[in-house]
Amino acid sequence: MANGITDLSTATFDETVNGASKPVVVDFWAEWCGPCKKIAPILGEIASERDELSVTKLNVDDNPDVAMKFSVMSIPTLLVFDKGEVVGRITGAKSKGALLEEIDGFLATSH
């Protein structure tokens, strides 16, 4: 876990996401992806500032089955889960403000 961000794998994904007591943001990323590296520090800031969210990441090269399960075709893709259900999808690198606005919008409509 770095910067409050939990690394997920195929083995830990369902338990972590479905068993979470708060909404979970999953960053689907890869080592070779420039935009993924660009948003990583932003996600770290969000993880440390927003206790009501759990921020996680999943390497699509190491866990392609999970990426396929959720139809992740391009990265970075962020999926927002609430109570184990996908309530939002954000594709591409965005600013911190834009990410928070979208995440908060998804969560406001899921309650």
Among 36, 39, 58, 78, which one carries the catalytic annotation?
Answer: 36
Among 8, 17, 24, 33, which one carries the catalytic annotation?
Answer: 33
Distance CA 52, CA 110 (A): 14
Query: What φ, ψ does residue 86 adopt, rounded to 5°?
Result: -75, 120
Would residue 33 show up in a list of annotated catalytic residues for this protein? yes
Would residue 94 show up in a list of annotated catalytic residues for this protein? no
5 Cβ contact list (under 8 Å, min separation 6): 27, 43, 44, 47, 55, 56, 57
Would you name the residues annotated as active-site residues? 33, 36
